[in-house]
Amino acid sequence: MIEKNIASIVSNRVGRKDINSLLRMYIDGERIAMLTCYDSSFAALMDRCGVDILFVGDSLGNVCQGHASTLPVTLGHMVYHTKCVSRGNSSAFLIADMPYGTYATPGSAIDHAAKLMQAGAQMVKLEGGAWLRDIVSRLVERGIPVCAHVGLTPQYVHSLGGYKVQGKTIEAAKLIKDDALVLQNAGAKLVVIEAVPKLISKEITEALSIPAIGIGAGPYCSGQVLVMHDMLGISSGRKARFVKNFMDGCQSIEAAIRSYVEEVKSNAFPNDTHCY
């Protein structure tokens, strides 16, 4: 009887999603809808519209600060925006990016990630491959959940020679898959796969036992993420193939966000026009 009562209390608890909520969605086959968010007002709106994960991305360097890349974004910027989003959010899971240069060593990663967690993040995201193994492991040991990011990693824009599709050769595809598995085994509980051909991301997603969130990685991932400004059609410059303007046909921003969530959940987005 006690066990049943406890189970009932837990199942009826209303509050912010946690990592276990996302893992249950993954196990149940429910697609995870994730959007970037940078302020309190949009956090409240996205939460109300059913967005599962609010992501304070270092993409704020591009869409909020007007930079050509994410590299100028500082930890102070990320802490500020994470606090703003956290104050507006009630129930969505909240992830914050670790900006460029803040996780070169386990010690610096722990110190900087702790500041983002204190600001309201429930998980931090790191870009890179197998070299992050020890850093991810150390963060997890300190109670800091980690989201890995493989494929196109914007913080590597200069070494990649631009924002290009990754995994186009057998060797490159294998490396991305191996990186994702290494970081999962190190303790990452979520993986973002960016700008990878859809069949490669399908293979990676099926090899993982944690959710894989795609951005330009096709329809076979466990969920999808877009930059808010892209999905609202207000980003300047050339649009990536994987971007869809959800304001088309919608009368309000709220309707566009709800449309995005619905299309992710039903696996209507992305379709072949948004894939590599």
Map tokens 């608890």 to a residue: 13
Catalytic residue among 3, 141, 171, 194: 194
Query: What is the CB neighbour count within 10 angstroms for residue 248?
Result: 9
Residue 127, annotated as binding a ligand:
yes
Find residue 191's DSSP bridge partners.
148, 212
- What's the distance, Cα to Cα, between the start and end of the chain in Å? 53
Residue 125, annotated as binding a ligand:
yes
Residue 59, annotated as binding a ligand:
yes
Residues 276, 203, 257, CA angle at the centre, nearest 5°? 55
Q: How far apart are CA 139 and CA 211, in angstroms?
A: 19
Concerning whether 194 is annotated as a catalytic residue, the answer is yes
Binding residues for 3-methyl-2-oxobutanoate: 58-59, 97, 125
Known catalytic residues are: 194
Annotated binding site for Mg(2+): 58, 97, 127
Point out the annotated binding site: 58-59, 97, 125, 127
